[in-house]
């Protein structure tokens, strides 16, 4: 169940799963979660460390997967001002 409406974005990110550091693209984002396009097939329940531009890595858990897309729930919500800045930077 989605906790909040997500805002469309296109952020180049890195994520870490186990010991692998991989590139990804966040296609939409909310204070509580993100839709991640990844090069690696993820599975529901996978734990990731997601590095959004300008922020320290944050823990996220994969909730759903559809091919190369994964819906991730952030362990700690983003502040609304941080969310706004990330979305605005992706469309600038």
Select the CATH number that applies to the domain covering 7-77 from these four: 3.40.50.1970, 3.40.50.2300, 2.40.10.220, 3.40.190.10. 2.40.10.220
pLDDT along the chain (92 residues), means of 10: 74 93 96 95 96 95 96 96 92 66
Res 5: pLDDT: 77
Res 43: pLDDT: 96
Using CB atoms within 10 Å of the CB of residue 52, give its burial: 0 to 12 exposed, 13 to 18 middle, 19+ buried.
Answer: buried
Res 72: pLDDT: 97
User: What are the boundaries of each domain within the chain?
Assistant: 7-77
Res 4: pLDDT: 62
> What is the DSSP annotation of 55-75?
S--EEEEEEEEETTEEEEEES
What pTM does this model have? 0.89
């Amino acid at each position: 169940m989605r906790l909040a409406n997500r805002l469309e974005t296109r952020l180049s990110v890195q994520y870490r799963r186990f010991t692998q550091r991989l590139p990804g693209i966040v296609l939409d984002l909310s204070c509580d979660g993100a839709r991640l396009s990844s090069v690696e097939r993820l599975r529901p329940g996978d734990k990731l460390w997601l590095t959004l531009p300008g922020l320290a890595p944050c823990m996220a858990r994969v909730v759903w997967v559809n091919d190369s897309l994964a819906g991730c729930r952030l362990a700690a919500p983003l502040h609304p001002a941080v969310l706004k800045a990330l979305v605005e930077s992706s469309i600038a």
